[in-house]
Amino acid sequence: MRPGVPDQPSDDGTPLEARERLRVTEILTAAGGTDPERVPEALCRACAGLLPVTGASVSIAGGPSVRVTWCASDRTAARLAEAQYTLGDGPCQSALDDAVAVLAADLTQGPDSRRWPVFASEAVALGVRAVFSLPLGVGRTTIGTLDLYRDRPGGLSASDLRIALWTRDAVTFAIMDLQPGHDAGDRPADEGVAPWMQASEADHSEVYRAVGMVMVQLDLDPEQALDRMRARAFAESRTVSEVAHDIVLRRFGFGNSGSPRRTSG
């Protein structure tokens, strides 16, 4: 729909915007009706298929600094999500911090590349040229982000952005419906509604445990401990989740000097 032009009816008399929204609802509902363990991946693939993008991921936030990748439509989307988490920078982090959609149409040059220079460099190395991050949540309370990427530069049209926001709303309610503390989270286990959430919470918990261990080792606050883990991950071209896993398994720790040290075993 062109700006300033009323929503035109389709051949059957239904406004085009209403038909678009119905299409989004039907596609995402179908994705949510699959095997519960496959719901996250199915939703991510559906999100990517609804828009002129290459892939999508959804991250769930566990506070201002810790989050877990809930799903990704492909390997690049997953690596992109982990890169933003490891760096603590990028459109996803900005969307979380400001609770607004962040649209980076060209990471190869111009203001987007200068706003997040290290992230932009890593994204381009992954073959990513544009990223669109939309906060999940209600009002200014964010529970994560829907991140869309494209392998070529270019922004979203007004119609595409409208569909992206509808998609974001649907994903928000899907996650909230299955989060502990909500009605759907109280369904009997034999209905199989939350295996993916249990797995995500396990990853999430592992990062928290690792942060706590580094806090004790170096007498730091949580943000400082996470920064040390991020630095370690960046230096080794790994992800924070991978570093957290090694810390929890005591494969290495941080000595009094603050330098990482390998442990035996």
Residues 14-38: tens digit of each pLDDT: 577 888 888 887 887 777 666 667 7
Rounded Cα–Cα distance for residues 38 and 24 (Å): 19
Is residue 4 assigned to a domain? no
Residues 65-100: tens digit of each pLDDT: 566 788 899 999 999 998 888 888 899 989 988 989
Is 54 in the same domain as 163?
yes
Residue 149 has pLDDT above 90, yes or no: yes
Which residues, including other chains, have CB under 8 Å from residue 186's CB and lie 6 or more apart? none
| pLDDT number for residue 107 | 97
**Domain range enclosing 242:** 194-262
Confidence of residue 171 (pLDDT cuts 50, 70, 90): confident
H/E stretch holding 131 reads: strand 130-138
Residue 190 has pLDDT above 60, yes or no: no
Rounded Cα–Cα distance for residues 91 and 94 (Å): 5
Rounded Cα–Cα distance for residues 256 and 253 (Å): 10
Query: Is the pTM of the predicted complex or chain greater than 0.85?
Result: no
Residues 227-248: tens digit of each pLDDT: 788 788 878 877 777 888 888 8
Is 215 in the same domain as 146?
no
Q: How far is CA 36 from CA 14, 71, 119, in A?
A: 33, 13, 33
Is 154 in the same domain as 217?
no
Rounded Cα–Cα distance for residues 53 and 195 (Å): 28
Q: What is the CATH number of the domain that holds 238?
A: 1.10.10
DSSP string covering 34-97: S-GGGHHHHHHHHHHHHTT-SEEEEEEESSSS-EEEEEESSHHHHHHHHHHHHHT-SHHHHHHH
